[in-house]
Amino acid sequence: MPELPEVETVRRGLDRILVGKQILSVDVLNDKTLQFAHTDLNTFVIGAKVVAVRRRAKMLIIDLDSDYSLLVHLKMTGQMVWRGAESWAAGHPNDSMVGDLPDRTTRIIFNFDDGQLFFNDQRKFGWIRLYPTNTLSDTPELAKLGPEPLTSDPTISFLRRIRRHPRTSIKAAILNQQVIVGVGNIYADESLWLAKVHPQTRVEGLSDDELLHLLECIQKSLQAGLNSGGSTMRNYVRVDGTRGNYLDKFAHVYGREGEPCDRCGHEIIKIKVAGRGTHICPNCQKLR
């Protein structure tokens, strides 16, 4: 699944390419991807211009001058591909990024006068919904979300929210999108290693200072992912068409079981925490 840096990479590309452009028509190749009344396409989407492309957690928000917004979730295999004078693609990496489109993964096509935006999604879990822009923050998708780690000062909200889960393991707590958004399995493992905190430590076992230090480590990890183009296990194609090799450059523990810890040389091991495969250095991250 794309994590926050990948979705932010998609957002930056779409914002650069789409703003100011008018949607001339929309081709719906898979009904279930477009999760709103199709008649609303004619009323609020077709003929509208793109005002901005924003992100909340791992969702993209495409604001239109009809005062409606498209809310997009890429889920596991979603990708956005622009074909016009330039070719651009970001999201889940596969051959659809570079091959002839539409192909059998194409679900929705937005047609502009100078190009086409393809929403491709192999597994079909991704979706596009439509809401009045001024009601977005009250929607079920957005209403309960925790603070953004990178684009706001999340400190006070993070502390208040994480303290609601005193007996939860710290890893499960930071994966909870109501505590802080955008932390997936990779960034949870990386930030806990950076902070030297064992993932099974209960929230109540950490002081406010320790929690805030962990928050800084979460921000550092996400920023490092963003700076290197973002990726999960396989590399993603970036805005400029090159492949981001973020894991090679950045991962200290994720996917590195059996290798030596960058800090102390001890062997990295893989354990299970909160039902998720979890990578730690047992020397740097001792359970207190």
Nearest distance, CB of residue 193 and Zn ion, angstroms? 8
From 141, 257, 276, 282, the catalytic residue: 276
Cβ atoms of residues 236 and 186 within 8 Å: no
Measured between alpha carbons, how far is residue 46 from residues 23, 43, 82, 111 in Å?
A: 5, 7, 18, 9
Cβ atoms of 123 and 91 closer than 8 Å: no
Nearer to Zn ion, 177 or 283 (CB): 283
State which residue, 20 or 265, has the beta carbon closest to Zn ion: 265
Known catalytic residue at 148:
no
Active-site residue 276, yes or no? Answer: yes
Q: Between 28 and 269, whose beta carbon lies closer to Zn ion?
A: 269
Of residues 158 and 254, the one with the C-beta less far from Zn ion: 254
Residue 51 C-beta: closest distance to Zn ion, Å: 48
Long-range contacts of 40-48 (CB under 8 A, 24+ apart): 40/68, 40/130, 44/68, 44/130, 45/70, 45/130, 47/22, 47/23, 48/22, 48/23
Residue 256 CB, nearest approach to Zn ion (Å): 11
Query: Which residue among the candidates 55, 58, 107, 238 is catalytic per the annotation?
Result: 58
Establish whether 58 is a catalytic residue: yes
Q: Which is nearer to Zn ion, 69 or 221 (CB)?
A: 221
CB of 36 to Zn ion, least distance (A): 49
| In the complex, minimum distance from the CB of residue 271 to Zn ion, in angstroms, rounded to a whole number | 14
Nearest distance, CB of residue 265 and Zn ion, angstroms: 7
* Residue pair 13/90 in contact by the 8 Å Cβ criterion: yes
The residues of the shown chain that bind Zn ion, judged by CB under 5 A, are: 261, 263-264, 266, 281, 283-284
The smaller minimum CB distance to Zn ion, of residues 243 and 263, is found at 263
Q: Does residue 202 carry a catalytic annotation? A: no
The identity of residue 121, as a single letter, is D
Please identify every residue annotated as catalytic: 2-3, 58, 276
